Structure 1
Amino acid sequence: MRYLIILIIAIPAAEIGLLLFSGKTIGVWPTILLIILTGVIGAYLAKREGLQTIRKAQEQLRNGQIPGEAVLDGICILIGGILLLTPGFITDISGFLMLFPPTRRLFKFLMINSIRKKIQRGNIKIIK
């Protein structure tokens, strides 16, 4: 929770600084167009990846499997899409990393390890 508060303060401050630097370096209009372009491309990629993930989950359910990995993919795609719609370059880079399947593996690995640690500490209980 303490890291969340730091992120809520640090990331917007860094985004503002980077946007100001970009506006000064390449100009205000190119910066605005770049932000809009990343938002549009991000929305398209999030939709495409999300639909593929839904199809994969449905296929796994039809085969009687639990779609665990597809759920993690869906969480990453949702967060990545939200980050891409948020104006700023840092959030855009993070969002693109969460949308592309090769780099999404790292985020899924981190989520699984986080969940595993919480289960081991007793913060999450598994009911069978």
Structure 2
Amino acid sequence: MTTRRRRLSWVLVLLFLVMPLAELFVLIQVGQVIGVWWTILLLVADSIFGAWLMRREGARAWNALTTALSSGKLPSNEIADGALIVLGGALMLSPGFVSDVFGIVLILPFTRPIFRRVLSTVVQKRIVVSAMPSGFGPATQRPRNDDIVTGEVIDKDEPA
């Protein structure tokens, strides 16, 4: 198993096993401290705030993207901001305080540049790895001798 697959396996374990357990633990702890109804109200208010924040920052990111495109600038930061806002919004959709905190941190305009740098580093590594020849696949295939046909092109409209 490659290092990349092992890392992906751990990320999936974290996402599908540890995160729900952490969400349940935090929900139970908050519910015991402030009560069930206040916890539910806090989750609803948190979702409303997240939706408002995502809408506001999404509109700003869209305006920045259209401005960059119209000026002929490569919109790499704007695209990264849009991706982070969408990811933050997806985290805000899942119920729980832990994912909401991560979602809000991804959406906030003053914390997003940190994650933009992380995202651009990951994307740059992926581009370098995918651009390197691996010895397998279409990028390194050479034409076989039976794929090459030698011949002469004859144009019928041109007099001989």
What letter is aligned with 2:130?
Answer: N
Please point out which of 72, 89, 98 is paired with 2:97. Answer: 89
Deviations 1:50-93 (A, max 9, x none): 01111111011111112111000000101111111211111111
Please point out which of 19, 35, 44 is paired with 1:27. Answer: 35
Query: Per-residue deviation at 1:102?
Result: 1.4
Matching of residues 110-125 of structure 1 within 5 Å:
110-120=118-128, 122-123=129-130
Matching of residues 2-13 of structure 1 within 5 Å:
2=9, 3-13=11-21
Work out whether 1:74 is the aligned partner of 2:56.
Answer: no
Q: Number of paired residues?
A: 124
> Which structure 1 segments of 5+ residues have no match?
none
Deviations 1:27-57 (A, max 9, x none): 0000000000010110011011001111111
SS in 1 for 2:111: helix
More helix by share: 1
What letter is aligned with 1:63?
Answer: S
Tell me the TM-score normalised to structure 1 length: 0.91
Query: Per-residue deviation at 1:16?
Result: 0.5
Give distance in 2, aligned partners of 1:53 and 1:21: 36
Structure having greater relative contact order (Cα 8 Å, sep ≥ 6): 1
Tell me the TM-score normalised to structure 2 length: 0.73
Task: Please say which of residues 109-118 and 34-43 is displaced more in the overlay.
Answer: 109-118
Give distance in 1, aligned partners of 2:27 and 2:13: 22
Q: Which has the larger radius of gyration?
A: 2
Query: Per-residue deviation at 1:4?
Result: 2.1
Overall identity of the aligned pairs, in %? 34
Query: Per-residue deviation at 1:5?
Result: 2.8
> Which structure 2 segments of 5+ residues have no match?
1-7, 133-160
Change (3 A) 1:14 1:64: same
SS in 1 for 2:130: coil
Q: CA RMSD of the aligned region, Å?
A: 1.3
